[in-house]
Amino acid sequence: MRRRSKTLPTYRVWDAITATQQTHLVILKVVVVVVVVAVVVVVVVVVVVVVVVVVVVVVVVVVVVVVFVVVFVVVVVFVVVVVAVVVVAAAVVVVVVVVVVVVVVVVVVVVVVVVVVVVVVVVVVVVVIVAAALILSSVAALVEKNNSRYGCR
């Protein structure tokens, strides 16, 4: 009576390797879809944040200008002395300029922070994709090594 070999028959090894490759391909497809969805979500959030910031800045500037005009008209109507009008108008102009400068600085800071966040997210996504590609490349090399060891093509 012949002893049975403890190694698997070739066709079973090949079926297992093919299944492993298919599993890795499915995993890679899922990773790519998740990464693409994440990038799209981040871009949409960034666009929404930038639009909201721009709308807020426009509203603030309009309110400041309206307040400036109203204050200026009230000052001109109620103040008779020209020196008092000039002093109050200058003070209002200084306040308006300071408020506008502060608003512009805040907008610039927010936009810079949003851009930095987007760059960091894109770098992380690229690193994840490269890491997945390297892992799958290593798995493919191991599969090829196993194929050649068992005589599969």
- Phi, psi (rounded to 5 degrees) for 8: -75, 150
On whether residue 5 sits in a domain, the answer given is no
pTM over 0.75: no
- Structural domains of the chain, count: 1
User: Hey, what long-range contacts does 124-129 have (CB within 8 A, 24 or more apart)?
Assistant: 125/35, 125/38, 125/39, 128/31, 128/35, 129/31, 129/32, 129/35
Q: Does residue 75 or residue 139 have the better pLDDT? A: 139
pLDDT at 139: 82
> Each residue of 9-67: pLDDT tens digit?
555 555 656 666 777 777 778 878 888 887 888 888 888 888 888 888 888 888 888 88
User: Region 105-127: what's the mean pLDDT?
Assistant: 89
3: its two tokens: 């002893």
Q: Is the pLDDT of residue 2 over 60?
A: no
On whether residue 84 sits in a domain, the answer given is yes
Q: How confident is the model at residue 147 (pLDDT cuts 50, 70, 90)?
A: confident
On whether residue 7 sits in a domain, the answer given is no
Q: Is the pLDDT of residue 119 over 80?
A: yes
SS (H, E, C) the chain: CCCCCCCCCHHHHHHHHHHHHHHHHHHHHHHHHHHHHHHHHHHHHHHHHHHHHHHHHHHHHHHHHHHHHHHHHHHHHHCCCHHHHHHHHHHHHHHHHHHHHHHHHHHHHHHHHHHHHHHHHHHHHHHHHHHHHHHHHHHHHHHHHHHHHHCCC
> What is the domain range of residue 28?
12-150
On whether residue 3 sits in a domain, the answer given is no
On whether residue 97 sits in a domain, the answer given is yes
On whether residue 28 sits in a domain, the answer given is yes
Q: How confident is the model at residue 83 (pLDDT cuts 50, 70, 90)?
A: low
On whether residue 2 sits in a domain, the answer given is no
pLDDT at 81: 62
Mean pLDDT for the chain?
79
